[in-house]
Chain A
Amino acid sequence: MPKTSSKTNPARELVFGDLWEYDPAPETADPKLKPRYDLFINGSYVPPRAGKYFGTINPAQETKIADIALADASDVDSACKSAQKAFTHVWGKMPGKERGKYLYRIARLLQDHAREFAIAETLDGGKPIKESRDFDIPMAAAHFFYHAGWADKLEHLAPGRQVTPHGVVGQVIPWNFPLLMLAWKIAPALAAGNCVVLKPAETTSITALKFGEICQEAGLPNGVVNIVSGAAETGAAVIQHPLTTKVAFTGSTEIGKSIMRSLAGTEKKLTLELGGKAANIVFDDAPLDQAVEGIVNGIFFNQGHVCCAGSRLLVQESIADAVLAKLKRRIAVLRVGDPMDKNTDLGAINSREQLTKITDLVQSGVTEGAEKHDNGCKLPAKGFFFRPTIFTNVSMSHRIAREEIFGPVLSILTFRTPDEAVEKANNTSYGLSAGVWTDKGSRILKMSTLLKAGVVWANTYNKFDPTSPFGGFKESGFGREGGKQGLLDYLRVD
């Protein structure tokens, strides 16, 4: 242990070293899970017609949590038909004011059940409980609350034009923010007057299926929301079904492109929120401690399973050493482990498959000559975990600088001039988000103008709000979610 001295004022973690371990602080409330989840179709839970189920596991312990119904094309067909029926007979005719009240009820009920949803989310997906508790669930409720108020004000969205709902919307969501992505999809769809058939991700179905209970508790008319769990084939059935006239997808660019191809012969409306490889740009006048916190939040939030993660750090050359030193110190104290522990910073990687993908890409970084550094922390014996990792000596051609890793891995590059920063930041086929750290307001605005990205965070990162449109440029997809711009994507404009 280093000798302490009042003069050098060493950091706390150096003073304490390994002297004391944190006490475990597990969240213990009951997530009220069922051993088996059926499909939520037409307001009831129904078993899949083929009788097939698949297990969903806790990625932190590799233990099975529940059996999840596997919907096939006939189940999807029945969900789409019940959505169409609800749209034609009930939801599509209902005054917006009344629709809005159902959404307000859902928002309130999500708040009532917030703790149990947070725990279910963390058990099933592996994210730290502090994130599901303080971010995912409250933000999901906020999205319903925001969109509820739009339901009777839709005519303000497209002045001079008629807006009408599409009818049945097919939605496929990813595993990184299961309930929040559901809220991003369902809240605007319902506010606009559509009915939905939603497929959650294979590894994280529980909170979506639990959401059916919220719909029941809210007295939402049968068929307005249908949840069909399953894998890729189930999603394809939702997207391809003739009744889903509008399709919304969040996931990888590769799958987004295949969806575009599969719908090429149809007249379906499509919005896509796809991958990213965001640049987080730190200028030499940035408040460095704040920037380091932002860099950490940008790449390690939700284990880096974030499409807009700040996975490419661009640091101005003159401060690169200082930033790297601070970053290493900060990473040294990040706590990786039990997602249910309230002190955990990085929980479990969502699946073995994802862990393999991250491991492979990290290996490619080493092979291609970048310099790897991780915090060397002890990882739990069971479960899927990965240490917070940073790479220096990264060149723009390295795979770790080009491909979306979707894990806690940061690639660090440097720049000299603002022009070079812009060029490097935009040198990607993605364009979802970017970060800018500087003390100058005018530079923020200039950089924001030049960066080809749908969201630009200045002196912050990974901030979200229901009123703030989110979505990408280029191969990060099209359409927006949130705000009036996002809502309009759920309406036909005539």
Chain B
Amino acid sequence: MSHRLSITKTPKCYVGGAFIRSESGRVTALHDASGTFFANIPQCTRKDLRNAVEAATKAGPGWAKRSAFNRGQILYRLAEMMEARAAELAEALTLNGASKADASREVAASIERVVHYAGWTDKYEQILGSVNPVASAHFNFTVTEPMGIIGVIAPDDSPLLALISLILPAITSGNCVVALASSPQPYPSILLGEMLTTSDLPGGVVNLLTGLRSEMLPTFATHEHLRALSGAVNAADRKTLKLGAAESVKRVHLLKAEEPIDWFADKRQGVEEIRTLIEFKTTWHPVGA
């Protein structure tokens, strides 16, 4: 029996519900821990970022209008898709040398995190919103609204868990996301895209880019349609992002990548992370005949 030549996969980025190569045509060769060539990863550009923002702009209103129950079901469906392909995700994490046990642990934690947020979609409003007892004859209430499109910049540690921990609180409340995966460890994001596409999540709600962080950050910083930036980056990148954010009063929530972050910790998930990516709207409704 002759040896069968395997079919290798061409990794593509998940943008606007489709799988794309970078418009630049550039790729970065990805090698496994032993130095063997694994695949070529798209090296996205600021043009790809702008296209992704455009896709998110189209998807945004529809996603924000979905019922909380529906968003929860879709997120739970994502957990189902990831569970079914958990082994493949774990293998992707071992590419950079993670042990099998550590890789499995990260995949399990990532799936748990999706389930955690699936349960928040129809509850955070009751925790964060309020009815306010004003002195005048008004029914005064504060509700949350998604900010719009959130730029997510993932760190290199825990490349799957960190990425998904940053994306989930944004989409739970109806935001859309344009995310940049870890530059040295982009492959988990490629797989995540393949799972998102089968999760019933509308195309364009989450857009996953791969490429060089240093190339992409300035555009993340200044793109006016990104209403907030969320991520874990080093001090110099934080400064770049904050300086750019000032131009359109963009909200910025950045963790310090130079300090160890325990992405497995309970405090890396929950309603507080959702709160940082919503707006509060207060309505004064008259009470009377």
**Footprint of B on A, CB under 8 Å?**
142, 158-161, 253, 256-258, 260-261, 263-265, 267, 272, 274, 429, 441, 444-445, 448, 453-460, 463, 465, 467-471, 473-478, 480, 483-485, 488, 493-494
A478 to B127, CA, bound (A): 20
Checking A142, A448, A463, A475 against B249 with a beta-carbon cut-off of 8 angstroms, the contacting residue is A475
Check B3 for interface membership: any CB of A closer than 8 A: no
Q: How far is the CB of B283 from chain A (nearest CB, A)?
A: 4
Residue-wise interface mask of B (98-141) relative to A, using a CB-CB cutoff of 8 A (1 in contact, 0 not): 00000000000000000000000000000110101111101010
B246 touches A264 (CB 8 A): yes
What are 21 A-B contacts defined by CB distance under 8 Å? A160-B270, A160-B271, A161-B267, A161-B272, A253-B249, A257-B246, A260-B246, A272-B249, A455-B281, A455-B283, A456-B283, A456-B284, A458-B286, A460-B286, A468-B140, A469-B142, A469-B280, A469-B282, A470-B282, A471-B280, A488-B275
Chain A residues closer than 8 Å to B246, beta-carbon distance: 257-258, 260-261, 264
User: Contact check: which of B138, B243, B267 meets A463 at CB < 8 Å?
Assistant: B138
Q: How far is the CA of A86 from the CA of B144 in the complex (A)?
A: 36
The answer to whether A484 and B130 touch across the interface, beta carbons within 8 angstroms, is yes
The answer to whether A478 and B243 touch (CB under 8 A), given A459-B286, A465-B135, A483-B132, is: no
* B248 contacts the other chain (CB 8 A): yes
Evaluate contact between A274 and B284: CB separation under 8 angstroms.
no
Give chain A residues whose Cβ lies under 8 Å from the Cβ of B140: 465, 467-468
Residue contact B284 to A469, C-beta cutoff 8 Å? no
Residues of A within 8 Å of B251, CB to CB, are: 478
In the bound complex, do residue B142 and residue A264 qualify as a contact, i.e. CB atoms below 8 Å apart? no
Residue B245 at the A interface, CB < 8 A? yes
B73 → A minimal CB distance (Å): 23
The residue that A458 contacts in the complex, of B136, B142, B279, B285, with Cβ under 8 A, is B285
Q: Give the distance to chain A from B270, nearest Cβ to Cβ, in Å.
A: 7
Closest chain B residue to A477 by CB distance? B249
State whether A264 touches B284 (Cβ < 8 A).
Answer: no
Task: List residues of B whose CB falls within 8 A of some A CB.
Answer: 127-128, 130, 132-136, 138, 140, 142, 227, 235, 238-239, 242-243, 245-249, 251, 256, 267, 270-272, 275, 279-286
**Chain B binding surface SS class:** mixed
Which chain B residues border A455 with CB–CB below 8 Å? Answer: 281-284
Residue from A159, A260, A468, A473 in contact with B142 in the complex, judged by beta carbons closer than 8 Å: A468
Decide yes or no: A458 and B283 within 8 Å by CB, A261-B243, A264-B242 being known contacts.
Answer: yes
Distance in angstroms from B230 CB to nearest chain A CB is 14
Known pairs A455-B283, A465-B140 / 17 extra A-B pairs, C-beta < 8 Å: A158-B272, A159-B127, A161-B267, A256-B249, A260-B246, A264-B238, A272-B249, A274-B249, A454-B280, A463-B138, A465-B134, A465-B135, A467-B133, A468-B142, A469-B282, A475-B249, A485-B142
User: Cβ of B242 and Cβ of A441 under 8 Å apart?
Assistant: no
Q: Which residues of B contact A463 (CB under 8 A)?
A: 134, 136, 138, 284
A445 and B285: CB pair below 8 A? yes
Q: Is the Cβ of A493 less than 8 Å from the Cβ of B272?
A: yes
Q: In the assembly, what is the distance between CA of A290 and CA of B283, in Å?
A: 18
Given contacts A260-B242, A261-B243, contact A454 B281 (CB under 8 A): yes
Which residues of chain A are within 8 angstroms of B227 by Cβ–Cβ distance?
A: 474
Q: What is the bound-complex CA distance between A363 and B128, given in angstroms?
A: 45
When distances are taken between beta carbons in the complex, the residues of chain A under 8 Å from B285 are 441, 444-445, 448, 458
Closest to B134 in A: A465
- With a 10 A CB-CB cut-off, give which of A260, A274, A488 has the most chain B CB atoms: A260
Query: Once the chains are docked, how many angstroms separate the CA of A470 from the CA of B267?
Result: 28
* Minimum CB–CB distance for B237 against chain A, Å: 11
Given A260-B246, A477-B249, A485-B142 in contact, is the A457-B281 Cβ separation under 8 Å? Answer: no
Contact of B267 among A142, A260, A494 (CB under 8 A): A494
CA gap between A159 and B270 in the complex, in Å: 10
Instruction: Report A-chain residues with C-beta under 8 Å of the C-beta of B242.
Output: 260-261, 263-265
Given the known inter-chain contacts A159-B127, A458-B286, please indicate yes or no for A264 contacting B280, CB distance below 8 A. Answer: no
Question: Looking across the interface, which residue of chain B has its beta carbon closest to that of A460?
Answer: B284
List of A residues within 8 angstroms of B127 by Cβ: 159
Determine the residue in chain B with the shortest Cβ distance to A457: B284
Are the C-beta atoms of A448 and B272 separated by less than 8 Å? no
Contact B249 A257 (CB under 8 A): yes
Q: Which residues of B have CB within 8 Å of A445?
A: 283, 285
Query: Chain A residues with Cβ under 8 A from B243's Cβ?
Result: 261, 264
Most buried by A among B127, B256, B285: B285
Contacting residues, chain A, for B248 (C-beta < 8 A): 429, 474-475
Distance between Cα atoms of A448 and B272 in the complex (Å): 25
Query: What is the distance, in angstroms, from A49's C-beta to the closest C-beta of chain B?
Result: 32
Q: How long is the Cα–Cα vector from A473 to B146 in the complex, in angstroms? A: 11
Distance in Å from the Cβ of A61 to the closest Cβ of chain B?
A: 35
Residues of chain B with a CB closer than 8 A to A467's CB: 132-134, 140
B227, B256, B280: which has the most chain A beta carbons within 10 Å?
B280
Given A260-B245, A264-B242, do A465 and B281 touch, yes or no (CB 8 Å)?
Answer: no
B249 proximity list for chain A (CB < 8 A): 253, 256-257, 260, 272, 274, 474-478
Q: Which of B133, B135, B239, B247 has the most CB of A within 10 A?
A: B135
Task: Report the separation of the CA atoms of residues A467 and B249 in the bound assembly, to the nearest whole angstrom.
Answer: 26
CB of B282 within 8 A of CB of A468, answer yes
Cα–Cα distance between A161 and B282 once the two chains are bound (Å): 25
Shortest distance in angstroms between A194's beta carbon and chain B's nearest beta carbon?
Answer: 19
- B134:A468 contact, CB within 8 angstroms: yes
The CB with the most chain B CB atoms within 10 A, among A265, A471, A488, is that of A265
How close is B281's CB to chain A, nearest CB, in angstroms? 6
Known: A161-B272, A441-B285, A448-B283. A465 touches B132 (CB 8 A): yes
A267-B280 Cα distance, complex, nearest whole Å? 24
CB-based nearest B residue for A253: B249
CA distance A478 to B248 in the complex (A): 12
- Chain A nearest CB from B70 CB (Å) reads 17
Query: Complex Cα distance A161/B270, Å?
Result: 10
Q: Once the chains are docked, how many angstroms separate the CA of A494 from the CA of B227?
A: 24
Complex: A477 Cα to B243 Cα, angstroms:
15
A485 touching B130 in the complex, CB below 8 Å, given contacts A454-B281, A468-B282: yes
Docked CA distance A465–B227 (Å): 28
In the assembly, what is the distance between CA of A158 and CA of B273, in Å? Answer: 11
Which residues of A are found within 8 Å of B256, using beta-carbon distances? Answer: 267
Beta-carbon nearest neighbor of B128 in chain A? A485
